[in-house]
Amino acid sequence: MFSTIQPSAQKPQTKPASSRIVRRSPWPRLALFAFMIVVALIQLFPLIWLVDYSLLKSGDFFGKNFLVWPDPPQWANYKNAFTYGRVPLFFFNSLLVTVITVAASAVLALMMGYAFTRMKWKLSGFFLGFVMLGMIIPIHATLLPNFILFHKLDMLNNLFTLILPYTAIVIPISMFIMTGFLETIPRAIEESAVMDGAGIFGVIFKIIFPITKPAIATICVLNFISTWNEFIMANTFLTSEDIKTIPFSIMKFAGEYSSNYGAQFAVMTIIALPTILIYLLFTEQMTKGITAGAVKG
């Protein structure tokens, strides 16, 4: 009466394809890591070479090796750089010109960027494109017109004659970065501030300014690099010894001190250090400021 039920053969269970663990070879990652180390060393070699030669004796420069261990390090080269090259005075002049240029360009880029991206007015797109055209104009293409203009206005041999063209030439790239960043900011933030009674300058400097710090940091670093090392325009507009900028320190070693190679390399190291420090301090902010405009919505 009772029939026996034969158990059916059970098939082995297999894991879904999505749950399988795929082991990847570590060699591609290691190869990429080694390649990036080699690239980094190649990029850093000029700086290492510069610092190394700034600590050598003048007689140690002529040899077969690219790098020579300073034994002992000639720290007197830096003392001679400050003494003969007038580094403190020229450094202060460059710092003054650069700081004013960077601050003015950042403020103008913030205000102009807000006007072009948030305010609706006639021909705003045309004037924005007109400003952006300045990115294709190299700074030294304006050298002769600026010289003629400043000469007629009796403004040569003045630090202000450097600040004006420096600020004007960095405005287009500053605007490009700022407008791209502002497009990513929701308008609801400004609308709520206006409803609370904030005016236009209150919205810009109390609401927009803190949000746009990555873009402002990017603008400041790029403009610092472009103005700190500029020499041709400074050499054309400045003749007085008391207002020359830091690149002129190297020219001080012509003639009597032309064989003092260690001090010359020390001057070049001093010139390079501020740019390197600024870049290292604001690398993360620069990355945010440059990539923010790439993703909208």
pLDDT tens for each residue of 180-198: 888 888 888 888 888 888 8
Mean pLDDT of the chain: 83
The predicted-structure confidence for 155-175, as pLDDT tens digits, reads as follows 888 889 999 999 999 999 999
In this structure, are 238 and 252 located in the same domain?
A: yes
Its pTM stands at 0.79
How much of the chain exceeds pLDDT 70, in percent?
Answer: 87
Q: Which domain holds residue 263?
A: 85-296
CATH number for position 166: 1.10.3720.10
- 58 in the same domain as 152: no
Whether residue 294 has pLDDT greater than 80: no
Do 45 and 176 share a structural domain?
Answer: no
Judgement on whether residues 147 and 254 belong to the same structural domain of the protein: yes
Residues 159 and 188 in one domain: yes
Mean pLDDT for 100-126 is: 89
The residue among 49, 79, 109 that closes a domain is 79
| 108 and 49, same domain (yes or no) | no
Q: Does 226 lie in the same domain as 126?
A: yes
Per-residue 3-state assignment (H helix, E strand, C coil) for the chain: CCCCCCCCCCCCCCCCHHHCCCCCCCHHHHHHHHHHHHHHHHHHHHHHHHHHHCCCCHHHHCCCCCCCCCCCCCCHHHHHHHHHCCHHHHHHHHHHHHHHHHHHHHHHHHHHHHHHHHCCCCCHHHHHHHHHHHHHCCHHHHHHHHHHHHHHCCCCCCCHHHHHHHHHHHHHHHHHHHHHHHCCCCCHHHHHHHHCCCCHHHHHHHHHHHHCHHHHHHHHHHHHHHHHCCCHHHHHHCCCHHHCCCCHHHHCCCHHHCCCHHHHHHHHHHHHHHHHHHHHHCHHHHHHHHHHCCCCC
- Same domain membership, residue 133 and residue 39: no
List the Cα angle 231/280/92 in 5-degree steps: 40
Residues 31 and 95 in one domain: no
Looking at residue 186, its pLDDT comes to 85
Does pLDDT of 121 surpass 70? yes
If one counts the domains in the chain, the total is 2
pLDDT band at 1 (very low <50, low <70, confident <90, very high): very low
Encoded amino acid at 122, one letter:
K
Range picked from 67-76, 107-116, 248-257 for highest mean pLDDT: 107-116
Q: Are residues 72 and 177 in the same domain?
A: no
Q: Which of 79, 110, 132 is the last residue of a domain?
A: 79
Both 177 and 145 in a single domain? yes
Q: Give the distance from CA 151 to its chain's centroid.
A: 32
Domain end, chosen from 34, 55, 79, is at: 79
| Same domain (yes/no): 142, 164 | yes
10-58 pLDDT, tens digit per residue, is 555 555 555 566 677 788 888 888 999 999 888 888 888 888 888 888 7
Confidence at residue 91, expressed as pLDDT on a 0 to 100 scale: 92
